[in-house]
Amino acid sequence: MGHITRPNRADRMRAKTSKSGASLPVPALSHPWLSEALRRALRRPPPLRRLFRDLAREVPGAGGAIYLVGGYLRNIVEGREPGDVDLLVTGLSYRRTGDVLRALSVKVPGIRKIVAAGKHFPVHRIAVDWGGKEYIDVSNARDDGHGWPGDGTGRDAPGSVVPADDREAVDDASRRDFTINALLFRLVPGRSVEDGRLLDPFGGIDDVRGKRIRCVGEAADRFREDPLRIVRAIRLKNERRGFVLHPATASAIRRLGPRLLPAVSQDRLSVELVRSLSADPAGTIDDLRRLGLLKVLLPESGRHANRTAGRIARRYRFLRRSLGTSPPVHLLLGNLLADLPLEAAMATARRLRLPDLRSVASTLRCLHILTHPEALRFPRAETESALLATKDTRGCIALYRAVQQTVKRPAKDLNRFISKCNIKPFMISGNWLDKNRFPEGPLRNEILLRVREETLAGKVKRHIDAVRLAESMR
């Protein structure tokens, strides 16, 4: 299991403390390197820095506290470019937070409007003019009695070193999916933004440095709360070079994945799957196979899901070498479904609500024609037509070669074939058939294919020969 690490001493101590019922020490951390990274991140959009400064003044002035959370902070810790900005407010109601933000929007230049959004988890969105007119999400801490790990009540853990005014934020972080997403950075009024307080309640920084994807608290609880997190764990791992799944997280996925995943919305699942495939397609398939999930996502692969997974992963690696870059989405998804019969593959693509379905369908149809020439009446003409119909001829040829190599069949030199086709003119066209009043219907397509087939075979060399052939089929 090369993709799973053994728990280190800190992990074992954390687990032991949690199981014992004692409170977890959650220190406020001071990292000079983080202050410098945050300063660099804020240097490029000065309006964002000013907004943080004003929020750090106004929210505490109304009796609350405000924190940077989510991908923006995680990316800074990882040394990546900052992502979307997410903020957390504690100590204020949702309505009161909206009042504070709307009052702030009158004073701060660059804020276009404050929007109330979200059906199941309401947030306020600050629409700003900088950064491509982006949105900054401001959520309120959830308060459902969940508590934070290691504490029976989540409110008054004896011996905890969490400052009392940060307890609500830590409680909210305990509901997040993975430790690397559960970091908090409190914006402090009257000081520079980067001089705020970093909280790492669940060892997220250690997990970043150890390159681990680990659930917050009990992995089984996190996955039952939202089964989509099962695929998200795989996506987060494959987006980060060298990262692994923590043993407890991987074990919970194996145990619960087959039962929980079928209930996930296909639209949500598709987004996570495509993002993971785009980051590391072969790694994603290897993970799905090892964790017993491929047969859940692709039951159409039948009893031989593991064997199919091996072929899919090998083709992804071939495509990467052949194209010299990550395959585009339509090739990623076409390869995923390439082992299925054409109609079954299209039905599976619709069931999974895959994106760019038209391009995926074109890729699959082209692949079917290239790999089943024995079923074609006009093999040269139909092969040329399929390659011209797809928007990515080079990618489709690469996928065809990958399929042929995987099943150990020789591949035709289709690049050479296309070059030869390019020097053979089309003798007649659909417009010519219209002008000469050929009847509508499937016969028209047959005439065009037959004439093109004979042209590519060298039997039709002049326009008059093509006309005679067409007239003979009228």
- Alpha-carbon distance 76 to 70, whole Å? 10
CB burial string 234-257: b at 16+ within 10 A, e below: bbbbbbbeebbbbbbbbebbeebb
Q: Which two tokens stand for residue 280?
A: 């590391």
Q: How much is the pTM?
A: 0.83
Q: Residue 51: in which H helix or E strand, if any?
A: helix 46-61
- Alpha-carbon distance 337 to 343, whole Å? 11
Are the beta carbons of 371 and 400 closer than 8 angstroms?
Answer: yes
pLDDT at 163: 66
Q: Which two tokens stand for residue 327?
A: 């395959």
pLDDT at 42: 77
- Alpha-carbon distance 180 to 466, whole Å? 67
Q: What is the 3-state secondary structure (H, E, C) of 334-369?
A: HHHCCCCCHHHHHHHHHHCCCCCHHHHHHHHHHHHH
Please tell me what DSSP assigns to residue 145. Answer: S
Instruction: Lay out the sheet containing 197-199: strands in order across.
Output: 28-29, 197-199, 184-186, 65-69, 86-90, 135-140, 123-128, 111-117
At residue 128, the 3 state secondary structure works out as strand
Tell me the residue type at 349.
A
- Alpha-carbon distance 9 to 113, whole Å? 49
pLDDT at 30: 54
- Which CATH fold topology does 9-207 show? Beta Polymerase; domain 2 (3.30.460)
Q: Which residue has the tokens 């702030």?
A: 104
Q: What is the mean pLDDT of each run of 10 residues along the chain (474 residues)?
A: 41 41 44 76 82 93 94 89 90 93 87 82 87 82 56 34 80 94 91 84 92 96 96 97 97 96 94 97 96 93 86 96 94 96 95 94 95 93 93 94 94 94 94 92 93 95 94 91
- Alpha-carbon distance 105 to 64, whole Å? 18
Question: Which residue, 145, 146, 151, is CA-closest to 26?
Answer: 151
Q: Which residue has the tokens 């052939």?
A: 469
Q: Which two tokens stand for residue 275?
A: 């993002």
First-to-last alpha carbon distance for the chain, in angstroms, is 65
- Alpha-carbon distance 153 to 175, whole Å? 14
The CA distances from residue 52 to 143, 165, 195, in Å, are 24, 19, 12
Q: Which residue has the tokens 């031989």?
A: 304
Domain with CATH 3.30.460.10 in the chain: 9-207
pLDDT at 143: 64
Please tell me what DSSP assigns to residue 412. Answer: -
pLDDT at 196: 85
Are the beta carbons of 380 and 456 closer than 8 angstroms?
Answer: yes
